[in-house]
């Protein structure tokens, strides 16, 4: 384990119920990140999606992958930039080629694996994939930018 949820909260501004990354297990600066989210029936989203047939929403999977990408971007920045990260935030610029391959349900552990496709200045383009039990359940190309708050 590289970062638990307490460390992740020092990097990202997200908080319950919208912090969708429980742990970072691998990180190669400027290259890739792996982390996970444990999906629990006690999450508020399941009150409405769907009460008798709980399915974790695809948009939440995309957001979880984006949060992992935010950790990668912040931790890949120079030491000088990292010291100023409290004044920065990551914004989505685009989500392309999103595909949802299999439903995610309570009890699943979503593994997020992202690799850098391109990085120029504050802009990051990432290949993002989500797995449950080594089965690809979602994928997308994400583009984001680190900006001042």
Residues taking part in catalysis: 49
Which distant-in-sequence residues (6+ apart) come within 8 Å of 36 by Cβ? 21, 22, 23, 25, 109, 110, 111, 112
Strands (E), 19-87: 23-28, 32-38
The residue assigned the tokens 């001042």 is: 148
Which distant-in-sequence residues (6+ apart) come within 8 Å of 91 by Cβ? 144, 145, 147
Cβ contact 112:21 at 8 Å: yes
- Cα radius of gyration (the chain): 15
């Amino acid at each position: 384990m590289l970062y638990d949820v307490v460390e992740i909260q020092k990097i990202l501004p997200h908080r319950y119920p919208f912090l969708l990354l429980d742990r970072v297990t691998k990180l190669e600066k400027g290259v890739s990140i792996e982390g996970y989210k444990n999906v629990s029936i006690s999450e508020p989203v399941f009150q409405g999606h769907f009460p008798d047939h709980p399915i974790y929403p695809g948009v939440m999977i995309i957001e979880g992958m984006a949060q992992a990408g935010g950790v990668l971007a912040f931790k890949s920045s120079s030491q000088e930039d990292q010291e100023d990260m409290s004044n920065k935030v990551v914004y989505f610029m685009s989500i392309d080629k999103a595909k949802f391959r299999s439903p995610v349900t309570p009890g699943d552990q979503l593994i997020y694996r992202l690799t850098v496709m391109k990085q120029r200045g504050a802009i990051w383009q990432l290949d993002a994939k989500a797995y449950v039990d080594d089965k690809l359940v979602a994928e997308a190309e994400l583009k984001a930018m680190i900006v001042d708050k």
